[in-house]
Amino acid sequence: MDLFYRINVFPIRMPPLRERLEDLPLLVPELLDRLVGQLGLTEPPGVSTGFMQALAAYNWPGNIRELRNVLERTVMVHGAAELRASMVDLKQNQSDWQLVLKFCPGLNLHTLTRDVARDFVREALRRSRTKKEAAEILGLSRHAFTYQLKILDLKA
């Protein structure tokens, strides 16, 4: 515990990748260079403008680790000299919503619906850049969304 307080003198906030998309042109070549050695390639593939635009249009819930996985999968599957937008499918991953319900003893409908609502609001916040976008994802007005944040005891 002492170590935590020693290194926590100056907290550093690392914003998620979706808040720093301007870093993509720096990150992608660096990650591809690292993949060259790991995948046994002779040189990294080139990256088309369309490919970079497709990456920039994605929300990146998995941050840099997800970016690395996407690049690795694209290189392994296509093995092309240049990565193009048609080679990567990020929209499908972005729109998938899964809900897993566990029925536990003592769980009532009120608790279950509150937990589901909380999960959906958190997911909408994770997939958006602003509260307004999160409200639109959920089909709520900004006022109704703010009210949900309050009653679900969530911070945005």
- 15 and 83 assigned to the same domain: yes
- 31 and 106 assigned to the same domain: no
**What's the pLDDT band for 114 if we cut at 50, 70, 90?**
confident
Model-wide pTM > 0.85: no
Task: Report the CATH number at residue 67.
Answer: 1.10.8.60
Q: Which of 71, 92, 113 is the last residue of a domain?
A: 92
How many domains is the chain built from? 2
- 85 and 105 assigned to the same domain: no
- Taking residues 122-126, report their average pLDDT: 85
Which residues span the domain enclosing 48?
2-92
- 124 and 87 assigned to the same domain: no
- 34 and 105 assigned to the same domain: no
**What's the pLDDT band for 115 if we cut at 50, 70, 90?**
confident
The span from the first CA to the last CA of the chain, in angstroms, equals 29
Residue 127 in contact with residue 61, Cβ under 8 Å? yes
Could you report the per-residue pLDDT of 52-99, keeping only the tens digit for each? 998 988 888 778 998 999 999 888 888 878 999 888 877 544 456 666
Could you report the per-residue pLDDT of 16-41, keeping only the tens digit for each? 888 889 999 999 999 999 998 888 88
User: Does some domain include residue 156?
Assistant: no
Give which of 116, 98, 100, 20 is closest to 59, Cα–Cα.
20
